[in-house]
Copies of this chain bind each other. A is one copy, B any other.
Amino acid sequence: MTTPLPPDATRTRLRNEPRILDAAENVFARHGYRGASVQAIAEAAGLPKSNVLYYVGSKRKLYVALLERMMSRWNAMLDDISVEDDPAEVLEAFIRSKMTLTRTHPEGSRLFAAEVLQGAPFLQEYLRGELRDWVRQRARVFEQWSERGLMDPVDPVWLIFLIWSATQHYADFEAQVLGITDRERLDDADYRSVTDFLCRVILKGCGVTPRGPQ
């Protein structure tokens, strides 16, 4: 008797399930829910189709599991902020952590994008619930900063969308970015360069000065 693992966490399962999830994330991200075939996922995972279905139950359940995995990564990134915090630090941390998520999980980012492109049939609830609340809370803080003259009076929701879109872009439009910049992939230096650029332009753009006022 070692660890009283949950009933469905045997060694084999622990080896195969992640393989399947990772393979599926790629396929769903590229082709969307409808366009992804269980066969293609199975091939990408190096397993027979029946085996994949044995583990995940159904295509639908697999897709939902992937969205949940991605949302939990996303939530792990979102820490609370208060009016007392330094706007420059918070905004910069926000941009950097979003960029890190994009970079470490590009397939997950693309999966999310594909889901939203479809009209977010599986994520409506999340968007109109948790995420909306989170945005409202942040937006309130931004507004208070504006009132206190710590940043320009910009619309806080549009600002959040700006940060999301600008970072998300490097996952979702990777093919375009690589095509235009004539690269095989973006390396550390590129990501640092992009992130610094975004921090600089966005902070300055909404009148936030790093390191205390003026």
Contacts and interface: CB of A to CB of B under 8 A. Distances in A.
Contact of A124 (B120, B155, B179, B200): B179
Pick from A32, A152, A177 the residue with the most CB of B within 10 Å. Answer: A32
Interface string A172-192: 110111011110000000000
Given A113-B117, A179-B120, A158 B194 contact: yes
Contacts of A206: 201, 204-205
Contacts of A30: 32, 117-119
A131 B161 contact: no
A148 interface: no
A44 to B, nearest CB: 14
A197 B158 contact: yes
A162 interface: yes
Contact of A202 (B33, B135, B205): B205
A169 B177 contact: no
Interface residues of A, number: 57
A116 interface: yes
Interface string A83-121: 000000000000000000000000000100110111110
Nearest to A195: B158
A35 interface: yes
B35 A172 contact: no
Contacts of A154: 197, 200-201
Contact of A159 (B175, B176, B201): B201
A120 to B, nearest CB: 4
Contact of A32 (B32, B116, B124, B200): B32
8 contacts: A30-B118, A32-B34, A34-B35, A113-B117, A118-B175, A120-B176, A165-B173, A201-B206
